[in-house]
Chain A
């Protein structure tokens, strides 16, 4: 297990290095960084000053060295919009996104596992069909569209919930609900498929021959075996939750990392964009390691 984790850490570090190189060359080689980083109406004088300040006139390898050095110290420079270190701005936004994503993902996982398992046990029945239809529609609907339809229905027409902002707990209901739909649709399908396979496994016959009751057969014997593919998808979806967060946060005016990202791009605050990418990549690497640990926890065959 430790070998697996250390392999993953090394692979992750390599990936991170790859990402660093990618971003570096994208930002240096596809145009003048001074144009990219500075406001659109910057003067030529400002650009020269900018180049000297950031060492853009140095040889490319030395530039890369400084760039990596800064990254290791989590120094991404100042945010142009907020005149504060970019990393602070990003971490602040994360403080909003993490609970949003965490709560949603928690709800998704619990709902998907329970409903998917029961659907698989009752395959072909009414409940199974209902879950299949709901999950298929959920997985097919674009979240930005659901978000604006939800705003029209619940916030404008019915006036039950606020349209945007973060003042009260009510402000969290619509973002969570919208963010919930797609991952739920996808994961519930995987749970159902994986449970179907696991329920036809031979050890289920053994359990039935032992006289074990149905509920423990589903949730103790089968579910743990069926969880491995599910865990993979949960990991992918948790990473993709940041995708959804971009949309949902923008539409609901939620001050998280997604909204920050889009605002920074539209206002050319490139330092913040860079910091956000790197912090996100780090977060995903940590999550991948947690996923690996979960694998080992669930399946003893992976441990050694």
Chain B
């Protein structure tokens, strides 16, 4: 018995890629660290493929563009430092075949990414095949790689999938690059803000507007189980209600038949239920609606404001905010509404609790002494950590791997109303690497999708 266990272990350790013994590895649980120097060689193509792809996409060098997508993703994590392409000594095609590791070590690169893009015709339709390899320069070996075939138009997603693979291999955490962000696009003066639902890739490209701006729209959120489905709140016909939209078909429907305003919607982790608030006769309570049976149920029963509910990733608990103690504080209850417990006891007002996809933390907005903070606490309320402080910011949303929080920040306007802006920002769970997330317009209420399906 002991012997066979040993044998299994032995076989396992031979087959398993040596993640823990690998020279290239990053510990991302620490805050500031020296970024790892990487080289992303432009992916190469044969001349025929270059011409075909140029005809289809009007891009001169798709291999170079894909390498830029990867480089941009990795550098923005704060964990990697990209070495300038001009410093590369080896040509892309030769490097992809077999790198001269000394050449890459010479320019201080620890990791090398190479690739190849080939045009293909399958059943008379155009495709691209993208091959990529990840090399450990110091260990002088290939550590990962894959090849995939897709439609030419999906080339950015290929870059994101490669970025995810690299990130996973080097950090041991799952990636978050092949994802989208849905948010509210904002334009016009503060008193007559025009708001539209907008969807973009995680890196700010491929922005699409889902609504036209005819009615006020707020708080879009992805279904974590299906990235084609979102929920949001709309003032269509001056009836503020929660809607569910299928982004692929454009089909849209109001959720439930409530007499009163429904708002603050979020899906359950399995996407089968929707929690939200219903405000009626001056009281806001939290409701859940089963999207399969259409049975709806009231979960809270208190004359105070109960809103901003968010499920734990196992679906067993719900965190929300309530002012039943006099001010907004964060509470946790079982998903049937029982066992309500207050968890925030620090100084200030707490709102918008959002459960981390890993389950161990709750992100929140805090108002204290006239400043707004985005922070995290453990699910019992201990270990509060404030990540960022500003004049106004709120609405945290987690990256699917639970490492990064995206939120929106507003700037102060002067007495004439000038100087106002709303932008998306992201910050690492460590409190480092705060970054502006570029959007075509002003933006608020971001929600991060899960890793995209097909």
Genuine A/B complex: no
- B interface residue numbers (CB < 8 A to A): none
